[in-house]
Amino acid sequence: MRHGGDLISYKKYYEGELIDFSSNINPLGFPEGLEKELINSLSHMTSYPDIKYRCLKSSISKYLNCDMENVVVGNGAVDIIDNFTQIYPRIIVILPSFSEYEERALIHNKEVIRLKYKEDFTIDLDSIEKVVNHKALLVLGNPNNPTGLRIERETLIKLYEIVKQKEGYLLLDEAFYEFCPVDYDSIEIFKKDSYKNIGIIRAATKFFGLPGIRLGYACVSKDIKEKYEKVELPWSVNALADRVGRYIFKCKDYIKKSQDYMERERNFLLGRLAKIQGIRPYPTHSNYILIKLLKWKEDYVFEFFLKRGLIIRKCSSFNGLDNTYIRVAIKDRNSNIKLIETFKELEEII
């Protein structure tokens, strides 16, 4: 199982509604008013989406506070990652991270270099410096998945200087950006360099609660945009996803409310998990928590939760983690309580 969210495969094992802690989606759902907007937009199914996505890119650029000429779009963030791995011959990944970074590179027969995060899941700049060159695309989650950590501002700037000096390319996957406490905005930081040697991916999938819509976007330099548009599939974003993207970024109240909600639930869940025996939850900036299992293997814990109607994410499918890690999403309060209670039940059988 390379990905979370595959509830259909598990429905037969539990009578009743499964709670999905395996995919990391905004517990508040999508912005208010979006359904109405889409109902009024259904006639757009009869036309091709604008092949240049002009209105969509304009809407994204206002949200990101960058120039529209710096925006590219894709069929989810993974499509953007896929297009980038086609542009560069050497792909550097740091493990553990989202498996598709490596998968897409291998599919396109690219050289893959696998580095490791340090034990606390921060970045080792020296190891990166040794392998970056003008052919290299370094793909980094920020925050990283499944570890949940943002790169510290100073580290990111140092990393960027290394990549730039070596003429490589730094691709930040910031699909979970809006969930994180406000520290810095990569799009703001690298604007003065016109995003030379750096691209920043974001998406509607996680924060806007729309994994079914498949809308990813990125801020890149104009020369890379040209290369990107040569490899991208025509009409990669569906016409309704295009409409979604013209609507959601204006929903400022929803954005603020979601951020506050997540901060509260993150503190709540981290606090409660810290008291459970037999597990070690890692600190996180994001809307999911990586957990080291001290007493069990992932399969046992997965089955234990499944029997109680909860789907968690086993982590041995992340290259770089073994079968003693799981990942859980931070959800609404009731679900989070259910999670804690299930951990408490588990705790009793040490």
Chain residues in the site for its own copies (CB under 8 A):
2-3, 5-8, 23, 25, 29-30, 35, 38-39, 42, 44-52, 54, 75-76, 78-79, 82, 86, 100, 107-108, 209-214, 230-231, 233-236, 238-242, 244
Minimum distance from residue 234 beta carbon to its own copies (Å): 6
The answer to whether the beta carbons of residues 74 and 236 sit under 8 Å apart is yes
- Residue 203 is inside which H or E element, if any? strand 198-203
Cβ atoms within 10 Å, residue 277: 12
Minimum distance from residue 115 beta carbon to its own copies (Å): 24
Minimum distance from residue 248 beta carbon to its own copies (Å): 11
Minimum distance from residue 51 beta carbon to its own copies (Å): 6
- CB-wise, 101 or 190, nearer to its own copies? 101
Cβ atoms within 10 Å, residue 32: 12
Q: How far apart are CA 79 and CA 144, in angstroms?
A: 18
- CB-wise, 3 or 275, nearer to its own copies? 3
| Cα angle: 263, vertex 269, 274; to 5 degrees | 125
- CB-wise, 183 or 226, nearer to its own copies? 226
Minimum distance from residue 136 beta carbon to its own copies (Å): 19
Minimum distance from residue 30 beta carbon to its own copies (Å): 6
The answer to whether the beta carbons of residues 291 and 326 sit under 8 Å apart is yes
- CB-wise, 75 or 221, nearer to its own copies? 75
Coil, strand, or helix at residue 17? coil
Cβ atoms within 10 Å, residue 204: 24
Coil, strand, or helix at residue 172? strand
Distance of CA 252 to the CA centre of its chain: 21
- CB-wise, 116 or 257, nearer to its own copies? 257
- CB-wise, 107 or 125, nearer to its own copies? 107
Establish whether the linkage from the previous residue to 27 is cis, with ω within 30° of 0: no
- CB-wise, 36 or 118, nearer to its own copies? 36
The answer to whether the beta carbons of residues 155 and 122 sit under 8 Å apart is yes
Minimum distance from residue 261 beta carbon to its own copies (Å): 15
Establish whether the linkage from the previous residue to 283 is cis, with ω within 30° of 0: no
Looking up tokens 């299930």 gives 342
